[in-house]
Amino acid sequence: MEKSFSGKPSGSARSLALTAALAATLAGFPAAAQADWQRSYVIEWNEPAMYFGGDSGIEGPGSDCPQGVNPELDWVEVLVKAGYTREEAEWLRNPANPTRSPVHGQNQMAFRGKDRTNIYTNPESYPDPGLHPMTGSIAEGLNLDGNSDTGFVSPTGEAGIDNTFYQTLGCWKTYRGPERLSSGAMQFNDGMRNGSWTMVIVVSGEGDDPHNDDNVMVGFYMSQDNMVKGGDGSISPDYTYRIEPHAKYEGLFPARTLDGVIESREPVTAMLRDPGYTRDLELLEAQIKLKMKEDGSLRGYVGGYRPWRAVYDGWVNARGPVIESLTWVELPAVYYALKRSADYHPDGGQGQNTHISFALRVDALPAFVVTPDASEIATRIVSYKDQAPPLPESNGPSIGRSRIVGGIVIDPNAEQQAGPDAVILPPR
């Protein structure tokens, strides 16, 4: 019943009783002498750190969102307000309209800016529709700038938490909810846990006490090995994962431990796999705060400043009409909110801020992580980017085999194409 390095178990998922046997097997791996102690993990859940203060369900009001989430929109009224006749608007939203795809939505929805400009690629051609504000004082995350007089207070009372991403989008239905229960978190973590990608964490130190060590390094790496689920659907601990050298996704953090909490010694630049449509979680001034728990798991935050425009583009490239209809928001509102709230510029704040403070909540299980060639347990926290194959050339955003252009899926065989000059109503 041993697990192969392909990530596929050769038998049923093992019980925790086999953990000791697996550890004994892996004891044969040589370990690098540089580290006096090492622990490794596989990320089993990660999501944007969004504190939930709801009183009666995800959509209702609460201490975080006094007005609740943005309500479902009347898209006929939205289109009429954008300049379409009511007859045109009703036909565009009619399921019988052959230009309206049940999978990709109604492409003409994109063209509701001034002079029927595509609002996804030119959001400033459209007035800001607005998002319901997040007005609470509590947030999860990290004190990125070291200033305890600004920012939020954490649920445990720590001042100075910097998480403007949460402040900006925390009342959007897709992000709001208790841990593991927001629609966005469930969608993307289900994909990760079903094999879309795997990320592992390696922690190594140079002291005698892993819980109190001033010289620790932490590495976030990709792996090609799929996670293994138990009979109840949960991720099983103590499986083996090879590090997959990746030309983009990797994060190396100098850190220390104090009473079992791993904290950054200095900020770094990191690129992790985003659990969302953006895919790239590029973080400047990135830091970590992770608790090594008694049950062997790891829990905490990775935080930093991420490019806000990439977040917006990720939602657009996921098919704007679909995202708007399913998540009850007009995407230009997301654009305006992110641009307005951005709180960091890598050049010291000259001009419009390009980044927004952000925190990722991470839960990880104990695992055995080995080097890319599987010759030894990974103990040295080093970059493997020079061993990675080049990234494949991108043909632009896509969903399955469908290419997305300007936030919409173009069907080259369609008789009618959406656009500023499209004929909306069918011939009489």
Structure tokens at 312: 């917006």
Q: Can you read off the two tokens belonging to residue 80?
A: 């009429």
Q: Are 273 and 249 in contact (CB under 8 A)?
A: yes
pLDDT band at 26 (very low <50, low <70, confident <90, very high): low
Is pLDDT above 50 for 43?
yes
Q: What is the 3-state secondary structure (H, E, C) of the chain?
A: CCECCCCCECCCCCCHHHHHHHHHHHCCCCECCCCCEEEEEEEEEEEECCCCCECCCCCCCECCCCCCCCCCCCHHHHHHHCCCCHHHHHHHCCCCCCCEECCCEEHHHHECCHHHCECCCCHHHCCCCCCCCCCCCECCCECCCCCCCCCEECCCCCEEEECHHHHHHCCCCCCCCCCCCCHHHHHHHHHHHCCCCEEEEEEEECCCCCCCEEEEEEEEEEECCCCCECCCCCECCCCEEECECCCCCEEEEEEEEECCEEEECCCEEEEEECCCCCCEEEEEEEEEEEEECCCCCEEEEEEEEEEHHHHHHHHHCCCHHHHHHHHCCCHHHHHHHHHHHCCECCCCCCCCCCEEEEEEEEEEEECEEECCCCCCECCCCCCCHHHCCCCCCCCCCEECCEEEECCEECCCCCCCCCCCCCCCCCCC
CA pair distance 338, 306, nearest whole angstrom: 11
Mean pLDDT of 323-328: 97
What is the per-residue pLDDT for 350?
Answer: 72
Q: What is the pLDDT of residue 44?
A: 98
- Residue 209: what are its φ and ψ, rounded to 5°? -120, 110
Q: What is the pLDDT of residues 108-141, one digit of tens each?
A: 999 999 999 999 999 999 999 999 989 999 999 9
The winner for highest mean pLDDT among 10-24, 89-103, 412-426 is 89-103
CA angle, residues 314, 52, 131, in degrees to nearest 5: 50
> What pLDDT shows up at residue 15?
32
Q: What does the pLDDT look like over 342-385, one tens digit per residue?
A: 999 998 767 899 999 999 999 999 999 999 999 999 999 999 99
The pLDDT assigned to 16 comes to: 37
pTM of the model: 0.91
Question: Residue 428: its pLDDT value, please?
Answer: 67
The mean pLDDT of 4-18, rounded to a whole number, is 35
Which of 8-12, 72-76, 79-83, 211-215 comes out lowest in average pLDDT?
Answer: 8-12
Contact 219, 241 (CB under 8 A): no
| pLDDT score at 427 | 66
